[in-house]
Structure 1
Amino acid sequence: MREFMDYIQSVFYAATGWNRDNSYSSLNATSDALLNFPTPRGLRLTLSSLATSQFATSYQLGTVGVVDGSVSYLYSTVPLNNAIAQSEKIPLPDLLRSYRPLAELPRRAEEGGQLEGGLIKDGLAYGRLYLPASMLEALVVRRISPTLQFQLSAVSNQKLRNGGTMLGMVQYDKGRYAVEGLASTDGGLLGARALYNSGGDVAHLDTQTQPATTNGNGTGNGERERIFGRFSTGAEFYYGTLNKSGGMSVGARFATLPTHKGTPLTATMTVNPLMGTISWSYAVMAGSYCSLASRMDFNVYSYESDWAVGMELWRKRTAWSINQELEEVPTPVNITPERGFQEKLEWELDGPSLPLDAAEILSPPEPVAQSKKERSFQAKMEWRLDDPDVDSTVSTTNENDDDENDDQYSGVLKARLDQHLRVGLLWEGRVKSLLFSLGSSIDLRRLDSPFRTLGLEVQFSA
């Protein structure tokens, strides 16, 4: 399950307008989330809190052989007002969904757009202490400019060589391309990464406005037929100055964008020429409740191959909860005739005929006319031809579509299988105010003791 601190970090990146997907390190993020999800071990409880809009804490207690735990603190210079901290209100897709479509590339300030968040030189500091091992990890993120960001992460532990390690990273994101440079004290590692985007929404970064060519139906010519996506190519190089060894890899990814009318899909290929490994992965969001992924690895030197398949299946909410909400929706509508009946009784005492006609004619038109103008402006073209009553009902429904989509899930089942007949099962969801994750790793080749791991994680945040 995605931890609360990771969720807060994603809110920080969104508030400062930084795109985490525009990096070579996240080239296989979608397929890895569907095929390499971790299964819990033992029993683990996590309590988190967003104490203020800039400070968050998290405490974790687990039992894996011995009792262990951790204490985490996070501070952000940017107020995280958009973060939903209460576990019963956090949309489950934000925490649990593995398939995440690519976000549109934002226009930088120098390209005619405004940086999301509008703040420069913002920062984030995160620290976590593991007990009883006394291992400490820290992360510092510093935003230098709209396109430049610096990260410094460190781990301190007696079991590591020299008592710990430190990694520094400089990221430069221009939208069309992104470059990263990194240096680590572990082996004196030096590395560089680069990613270049083409197609899709990249063309919109070159011009301020794009002329729209539409047909009679109001949609672009061929927009529904062609696949609208982004093609990304990149490479990474690294060299260890102490052990005098290096490596490299190249990769490519094609992923559809949210504006694509068809099925969302992501296809990637990575090649490691020194090791002779070629990897292909394909992930598709088959529907609102199902995502599928597959991966194939092949080595040209040893002719060994590996494969893995994964699935993510969402579960709808129970019928009784939906019926309960449907019963609550007409309640405001039924208030109107009751109040109108009381008003008529009052007018009958003063004057039955004339005030009653005035109350029926003069009072309804003003709110109906105002709501009709506002809703017809925001509604889609096809709804303008309907009657006023139908139009108002539909427009009200459209305004709440996002909230309903976030609340229509009660849990998700994740499963994977590889060529070694190793199965991973994970069930995640929410019960009242508790987020839970129940999973197991099964080895079908050892039927005498197939369950390799079994665990339960429970999270609560406020």
Structure 2
Amino acid sequence: MLEFMDYVQSAFYAASRWNVDNSYASLTTSNNLLDFRTPHGVRLHVSSLSSPNFATSYTLGSKGVVDGSFSFLFSSLGLQVASKSNDLPLGHLVRGYRHLQELQKPEEGWQWEIWHRGKRIDTRDTLLYGRFYLPTSTLEALYLRRISPTRLFRLNTVLDSSLPSGGTALSQLQNDYGKYSTEYLFSTDAALFGFRGLYNFGYDPRYPEHQPSTRPPSHPWDHQSGRLSVGGELYFSPVNKSGGLSTGLRFTTLPVHTGFPYTMTLTVNPLMGSLNSSYAVKAGRNLALCSRFDFNVYSYESDVSVGLELWKRDLDTAWARSMLRREWQTKVAPVVDDNGFISSDFVERQDDAQGVLKARLGIDGKATVLWETRVKELLVGVGAGFNLRKKDQVLGNVGLEISYSS
């Protein structure tokens, strides 16, 4: 489950109209079904969005020793989002199967201009975030700035006495042109330089008037019912005189697809000799499944893991349809595809999810189970790890996480 500050940061991206899915770093979104985090020990989060521009959060945990953190967040862009834990949509807090939407045309620079008496008075959306960890005295900071309609700057820093030079910083300049995206990186750790890129085949949102006429898709690989994306990354450190690269591709169905939504990904790191492939499918309104295969040519070792995501909802289909009709009457426009069907994403956003069960099992016999739900005004997560090959110690780590926000 997302922490409150991550939820607010996601709201900033959405409010500033930045597509976080159109980048090489988010290519393997299907892995959210397998790489979920489980709590260790007992942890309590208390957060607040005191104003549309300012949020605070406090964390207290106990895993052998008592630890915790306190953090703050400031956004120059007012965020009108639900903040009370009993009002937060559970579906927005869980990293699970993601329905990618059709690419949108980037805004023009002049659309951001605001003039008053012959002078430009428009500003750029900015987010500041800081978190201080105890008892380690580690400081983590984040700076986000929307430089232009197609550009975002991100700076992450960590200050810790145990790190070389007392800390590290990572700067990223991201460009999103709809059809493709690029990203430039620099890290003070070993003076690392990096570049990432992602290209989407098919529909070009920059020139919608030059695209084929809208028609119902006849095949799942049709560019209107799915999208094929190819990307890669390259990085080099002149200090260590070493570098690396990787490449990958993804095919995912879009909301217009009439069958089961699914996503296929393949990533290859030729220098490390690793290959990773995954397949995720939304098998039903409340069920998503995923499988992943990892192989390394140098070690001849492979790993196969499977996972599932099962939602619990109290609302039946008839109630959801009636809600959709009422939303339509109140002019809250749902997402409608070219065939006149309402997107499943909109149905899920209107439903009140009561909980979600996530499970993962690997070929090594290690399994993880996580249950996240709402108990009155609290968000609760309970997780446990198992090792099925150790009969004398099957049960591993067990954790409980409780969150409250106002």
TM-score range, shorter chain: 0.7 to 0.9
Contact 2:288-2:310 within 8 A present in 1 as well: yes
Map 1:101-180 to 2 at 5 A. 101-110=99-108, 121-180=124-183
What is the match of residue 222 of structure 1? 218
CA positional deviation for 1:92: 1.0
Deviations 1:382-410 (CA, angstroms, capped at 9, x unpaired): xxxxxxxxxxxxxxxx9xx9588533421
What is the match of residue 65 of structure 1? 64
CA positional deviation for 1:428: 0.3
Equivalent AA in structure 2 for residue 62 of structure 1? G
Deviations 1:100-151 (CA, angstroms, capped at 9, x unpaired): 1113322122399x68xxx762110000000111000000001110011111
Give the counterpart of 1:448 among 389, 392, 405: 392
Alignment length, in residue pairs? 382
Contact 1:120-1:145 within 8 A present in 2 as well: no
What is the match of residue 88 of structure 1? 86
Equivalent AA in structure 1 for residue 58 of structure 2? Y
Contact 1:120-1:143 within 8 A present in 2 as well: no
Equivalent AA in structure 2 for residue 6 of structure 1? D
Q: TM-score, normalised by structure 1?
A: 0.77
Map 1:55-454 to 2 at 5 A. 55-81=54-80, 83-110=81-108, 121-199=124-202, 202-208=203-209, 212=213, 220=216, 222=218, 228-317=225-314, 406-454=350-398
Relative to structure 1, the CA distance from residue 170 to residue 419 in structure 2 (aligned partners, 3 Å threshold; closer, same or farther) is same
Contact 1:167-1:185 within 8 A present in 2 as well: yes
Deviations 1:135-175 (CA, angstroms, capped at 9, x unpaired): 00000001110011111100011111111111111111111
CA positional deviation for 1:30: 2.3
User: Quick one: distance in 2 between partners of 1:12 and 1:72?
Assistant: 17
Higher strand share: 2
Contact 1:111-1:205 within 8 A present in 2 as well: no
What is the match of residue 387 of structure 1? none
1:7 aligns with 2:4: no
1:18 aligns with 2:39: no
Moved over 6 A (4+): none
User: Quick one: distance in 2 between partners of 1:304 and 1:225?
Assistant: 33
User: Quick one: distance in 2 between partners of 1:302 and 1:67?
Assistant: 40
Equivalent AA in structure 2 for residue 284 of structure 1? V
Structure number with bigger Rg: 1
Contact 1:120-1:144 within 8 A present in 2 as well: no
User: Quick one: distance in 1 between partners of 2:189 and 2:109?
Assistant: 39
Q: Which moved more, 1:438-447 or 1:225-234?
A: 225-234
Deviations 1:191-213 (CA, angstroms, capped at 9, x unpaired): 110111112xx334323476746
**DSSP 3-state at the match of 1:457:** strand
User: Quick one: distance in 2 between partners of 1:221 and 1:297?
Assistant: 33
Deviations 1:390-433 (CA, angstroms, capped at 9, x unpaired): xxxxxxxx9xx958853342101000011110000000010111
Higher helix share: 1
Q: TM-score, normalised by structure 2?
A: 0.87
Unaligned runs of 5+ in 1: 215-219, 330-370, 382-397
User: Quick one: distance in 2 between partners of 1:12 and 1:300?
Assistant: 42
Contact 2:89-2:349 within 8 A present in 1 as well: no
Relative to structure 1, the CA distance from residue 423 to residue 223 in structure 2 (aligned partners, 3 Å threshold; closer, same or farther) is closer
**DSSP 3-state at the match of 1:205:** coil
**DSSP 3-state at the match of 1:93:** helix
Contact 1:292-1:311 within 8 A present in 2 as well: yes
